[in-house]
Amino acid sequence: MLLEGKTGVVFGVANKRSLAWAIARRAADEGARIALTYQGERLEENARELAASLNNPLVLPCDVTKDEDIAAVFAKIKDEFGGLDFVVHGVAYALREELEGEYLKTTREGYRIAQDISVYSLTAIAREAAPLMDGRNASVLTLTYLGGERVIPGYNVMGIAKAALDMSVRYLAENLGPRGIRVNALSAGPVKTLASAGIGGFSKILEHMRNRAPLHRNIDQSEVADAALFLLSNMSRGVTGEILHVDCGYNIMGM
């Protein structure tokens, strides 16, 4: 039980296919007590239904664009858990119309929304979490994607957001390292999730990566969850500021 006696919070659980949920379930299976957050009434039912399969989790509302919501989440966690050993940031969003056509046509508002929700939220969450994680060999983990390193047609403004997220990981790792808090990112290959449904031509991306990756297949949620377990547990106690690719090796390919 790699996370026996540990406590953690997972942001971004949307439904049973989401990577955040796969990670939350894996962490709970390894002994962690979990808090889950949901954004808005539309996702509350899903979050509570999924939480019912875990061991007495906290289920809390949180709109990550509101600092007061984030602060309220960590105030409740402090009351219930006392301290915190890991945070999983699985939040990302862009307007659907920004994922169509050319990146050149990105609107100012579309850019702002993608950066606020997908990138700045990590910093806002880490700032509130840090006092609960001081000196606990704690871990902050976010989910990124290769579209922040290379051009993925149709990913558009989310690619720019993921690039900023990757750099945020490095700056936060430097800031929080002296407090015994590690910050890393997990870059998963394409997986069918609610988020991926908004990307044009996603089935072609799956086919291309399956054909080009060294392992000649796509990944599944369980492989992402297993890698996340490594980054959340003491097994990765010497690792911070890193991006771990879980994509069957696709990221190493030039052609």
pLDDT band at 191 (very low <50, low <70, confident <90, very high): confident
pLDDT given for residue 14 in this prediction: 85
Cβ 87 vs Cβ 9: under 8 Å: yes
Cβ 90 vs Cβ 20: under 8 Å: yes
Pairing of strands 243-246, 181-188: parallel
More confident residue, 204 or 22: 22
Let me know the angle formed at the C-alpha of 37 by 35 and 38, rounded to the nearest 5 degrees.
150
93, 111, 145, 250: the catalytic one is 145
Q: Is 10 in a helix, a strand, or coil?
A: strand
145 is catalytic: yes
Domain boundaries, the chain: 7-252
Neighbours of 17 (CB within 10 A): 15
pLDDT given for residue 172 in this prediction: 99
Cβ-Cβ contacts under 8 Å for 222 (sequence gap 6 or more): 22, 26
155 is catalytic: yes
- Taking alpha carbons only, the member of 143, 167, 146 closest to residue 224 is 143
E-only strand ranges, 86-169: 86-89, 138-144
Distance, CA of 181 to CA of 232 (rounded, Å): 11
The fraction of the chain above a pLDDT of 90, given in percent, is 84
- Read off the pLDDT of residues 84-138 as tens digits, 9 standing for 90 and up: 999 999 999 999 999 999 999 999 999 999 999 999 999 999 999 999 999 999 9
Distance, CA of 242 to CA of 213 (rounded, Å): 21
Task: List the alpha helices (DSSP H) in 19-97.
Answer: 19-29, 41-51, 67-81
Order of strands across the sheet that contains 33-38: 58-61, 33-38, 7-11, 86-89, 138-144, 181-188, 243-246
Pairing of strands 58-61, 181-188: unpaired
Mention the CATH class of domain 7-252: alpha beta
38, 93, 111, 155: the catalytic one is 155
Cβ 84 vs Cβ 6: under 8 Å: no
Region 245-253 average pLDDT: 97
Instruction: Look at phi and psi of residue 33 and say left if phi exceeds 0, alpha if psi is from -120 to 50, else beta.
Output: beta
Q: Does the pTM of the predicted model rise above 0.85? A: yes
- Taking alpha carbons only, the member of 41, 17, 18, 34 closest to residue 77 is 34
Cβ 175 vs Cβ 241: under 8 Å: no
